Amino acid sequence: MYLVSNDMTATLPARSSLRLVAGPGEQVAVRCTAGELWLIRDGDPKDTALTASECVTLSDTGHIELYAITAASLHVTRCKPAAGSIRGAWRERLWRWLAPRGYGYPGPGR
């Protein structure tokens, strides 16, 4: 389960850039709403181009450089896991699976 931690909308003039930092375990979704963007990730030899209405979701920790080829508008959604939700969810499912089933029959000691 992911919880939204930050939403951002920005408009970049042509030939300008915006740098985002993704934290550990965080997912970053970038949607280009107008214009053209060039997305550059540190350590990734492949860059990504986005045009209006295209979206990309990144789940790596690191820096993301958004370069506006033309004047562009974008929407960024940052999501991170809820504290303890992954471990807690598995623990809860395991507990339900291992818990004695009460089918209307009293168990021992009841």
In the chain, the domains with their CATH numbers are: 2-98 (2.60.120.10)
Check residue 94 and give its pLDDT.
64
Check residue 106 and give its pLDDT.
52
pLDDT in tens, 31-81: 999 999 999 988 888 889 999 999 998 877 788 899 999 999 999 988 876
Q: 3 — phi, psi (to 5°)?
A: -115, 135
Asked if the model's pLDDT at residue 25 lies above 60, the reply is yes
Check residue 21 and give its pLDDT.
83
Q: What is the pTM of this model?
A: 0.66
CA distances from 93 to 30, 80, 98 (A): 33, 21, 9
